[in-house]
Structure 1
């Protein structure tokens, strides 16, 4: 690296950290998830408002590859955290209703997104029409598990029946959405040195669960503390797993996610909590803000024109209507009260950072052009920002307090 690159990289990192933190705090003060402010920080520094010239001066083209590397590492660590937070007991503990709501909140937006792709492809021609169609369906089907969990925690709903059901549905949605994206990646033909390498994926999954998971249990479960050696072992494992799935042509996010899933749950509760605290905090303070900036530099809403505005309206209609309608109808089919069904459907509409990662994958694969990518980023921000205010409307504080009392009552009964 030249002196020029080092200087700009360090200054850009300082700017990114401070601005993302300031806007994240501002978003929280108005009742929004911090991710909203952090995403807006990236868009504000991008060409939408400042223009290509000013953005290029602030983030020189020869520095951006280094920022992209840091952003990719941040995404890999974030995907590991998502995998680490998933609880298999959650996904099997709510019975048929969670499975039905999850499938409903995936199938309807997927179908509508795939149908919308036939309209969008007129203005956004792509080489792989099938890949584009499936990608649009998958992008419309996402629910952001981490953001949803934060919304529930802020409202005191984590231990209520509705909060538990929402978390379960979001966890299942995450697995289904990443599976759909994996299919899109395979069909896009982007894969690495040879498609035959993809045959190694089932073997790799089997090795991860059959050999790596027991090995991690022995290495990490000897005591409750998180030592520097254990932290280094986990981070190295995440990067190796991510590198493997990238090498075979899938994408590095899947390897990082899988490593988080295979970390043993039994006997490692304290260690996993310490991992989430230390790794997630560092990642959120430095690496993820870089991802937001890199994502924002790719957004340029000043060039989409009226056609883009119409497309944005269609995307929002499909994304919000499909997700809400699928989850609401599935919940009502199980005789969940209307208000509770509406609240669940509202929560399932939260997309957040998970959506941004999927959109970045689509841009890298060539499935999205910059115009449609910009539109989809706006959709991710809008659907995340609307969750809190809409939840206050359909499920006011009085109902939440009632659910909290019911949860306390159930706990007291179990304690007896």
Structure 2
């Protein structure tokens, strides 16, 4: 008796592929040193997308990743990425950045401004060619958006990398966190500016006013309720803020970041928050990587996309290193510190991918630009640990320079 494959069965097949393929590659190929599991998952998403699997096996790709399955996967991906962005907002330590405001301001400003300018120059060159700017994008939005994508630092992935390098709790690690935290605030601020819809400015202003008033009540509520209740209230707050931002035209991920940044990390146990971040990465974010891969495109030619990705990578890495080296000279850092800090701050991965997804959703960039940015983010992230680990040893960081084998767990 024949059996028609249901949407539920196709969804479960897709879920099995999403989790099995990258894990087996990561485990069997032992890629952890140069490509952590999170990077392998991103690459797997690209390979399972229409540009690779869709071209090699179009019928299989269309059958498994049909519109109903993609809709279900997108729902999981949206919630996972909102949780992830909210946690990133909670982990920002603005008070430490303010306490060391001169050093943090100089370093964060140069580490963000120089690669932004370099990426914007590449974006200006892309504007002169067909196929890169989206149908709803204005030239200034495209240039600033692509430039900022080159300047992004992925704070959550940076934390994971510094844990592997055993410098997270060291003085240098805490300095790097301050620089990345300040840049994260600037990144989301610039994104909100790029997404500002002047035709809906009244609605966006109403959202920001309502959000400000709600924050006062929310913070009072969180201080007054038991610690275990805060986790549930946090999730309701996340959904409400994300809805409000999306309704206003700012995108739900901007709302998720705002939901997190107004919360104090002290309201939650640090160990439990770390576990939540790890579990979101383990259980839900691989679905986001797959849904990201399904949005890649090579329609204007694979070689052209790779050339654009290479130009963006050079602008990103060289700009970040130049900015941090200038900061090191101004602030009188020890020899070798600027190189280590610069290479770690150019880690992009998730936050850049989230950033680029928003630009694609708003049709400021095309799928081809999105693919080039995604390739740039993967390459820059894969360079970090292999470059930094020997530099730490050369700096004489003692035990801080070693990569702890015990840190190579099954978590991404």
Q: CA deviation at 1:398?
A: 5.8
Q: CA deviation at 1:262?
A: 2.1
1:312-341 per-position Cα deviation (integer Å, ceiling 9, x unaligned): 221111111111111221122101123001
Q: CA deviation at 1:203?
A: 1.4
Q: Which moved more, 1:348-357 or 1:155-164?
A: 155-164
TM-score, normalised relative to structure 2:
0.88
- Which of 389, 392, 403 is 1:392 aligned to? 389
Structure 1 unpaired stretches of 5+: 405-416
Distance 1:215 1:71, change over 3 A: same
Q: Is the 8 A contact 2:91 2:265 kept in 1?
A: no
Which residue of structure 2 aligns with residue 333 of structure 1? 330
Q: CA deviation at 1:371?
A: 1.2
Distance 2:121 2:18 in 1: 38
Q: Is the 8 A contact 2:82 2:253 kept in 1?
A: yes
Q: CA deviation at 1:116?
A: 1.7
Whether 1:170 and 2:173 are equivalent positions in the alignment is no
Distance 1:290 1:29 in 2: 20
- Which of 141, 161, 165 is 1:151 aligned to? 161
Distance 2:14 2:205 in 1: 41
Distance 1:370 1:36 in 2: 20
1:86-128 per-position Cα deviation (integer Å, ceiling 9, x unaligned): 2223322434112111000111111122222211012224441
Whether 1:314 and 2:311 are equivalent positions in the alignment is yes
- The DSSP-based 3-state class of the residue aligned with 1:47 is coil
Which residue of structure 2 aligns with residue 413 of structure 1? none
Which residue of structure 2 aligns with residue 304 of structure 1? 301
Q: How many residues align?
A: 391
Map 1:342-353 → 2, pairs under 5 A: 342-353=339-350
Map 1:26-45 → 2, pairs under 5 A: 29-45=32-48
Q: Report the aligned-residue RMSD.
A: 2.4
Which residue of structure 1 aligns with residue 145 of structure 2? 135
Q: Is the 8 A contact 1:195 1:249 kept in 2?
A: no
Map 1:400-411 → 2, pairs under 5 A: 400-401=397-398
Distance 1:387 1:249 in 2: 35
Map 1:96-115 → 2, pairs under 5 A: 96-115=102-121
Which residue of structure 2 aligns with residue 381 of structure 1? 378
Q: Is the 8 A contact 1:161 1:403 kept in 2?
A: no
Distance 1:403 1:17, change over 3 A: closer
Distance 2:393 2:220 in 1: 45
Q: Is the 8 A contact 1:91 1:168 kept in 2?
A: yes
Structure 2 unpaired stretches of 5+: 402-412
TM-score, normalised relative to structure 1:
0.87
Q: Is the 8 A contact 1:24 1:36 kept in 2?
A: no
- Which of 80, 90, 97 is 1:91 aligned to? 97
Distance 1:28 1:207 in 2: 48
